[in-house]
Structure 1
Amino acid sequence: MTTRILVTGGAGFIGSHSVLGHERRHLAGIDPVRPWRAVREAAFPVPLDEKKGSTR
């Protein structure tokens, strides 16, 4: 998990901040995740409760 946090602090943080929003920490803000997030949201809609839980 430590490595993922370090990646978030890098350039991925910019992409995650604008595109991923609240899922930033969950997906660690890795660039390849950006298109995957759109696919994941379309295929598996995430309830608001789950999104709030992942930000804590």
Structure 2
Amino acid sequence: MSKITISETRDYFLKDDQKFFYLADTCWSAFTNPNYEEWEYYLEYRRMQGFNALQI
């Protein structure tokens, strides 16, 4: 897994020395005890929607 860092100017993220746009979903359902299959579905669905992070 690549490490995400902050640019020297501190105004954007970098991943593999390329600008990285952090698009997170606020995953409140994490606190409802989802099972493995529900998590698998949730993560795949969010990936298809273009999300690249979860913010819990």
Q: Say yes or no: TM over 0.5.
A: no
Q: Under TM normalisation by the shorter chain, which class is it?
A: under 0.3
In terms of fraction of residues, the more strand-rich structure is 2
Q: TM-score, normalised by structure 1?
A: 0.26
TM-score, L = length of structure 2:
0.26
Query: Which is richer in helix?
Result: 1
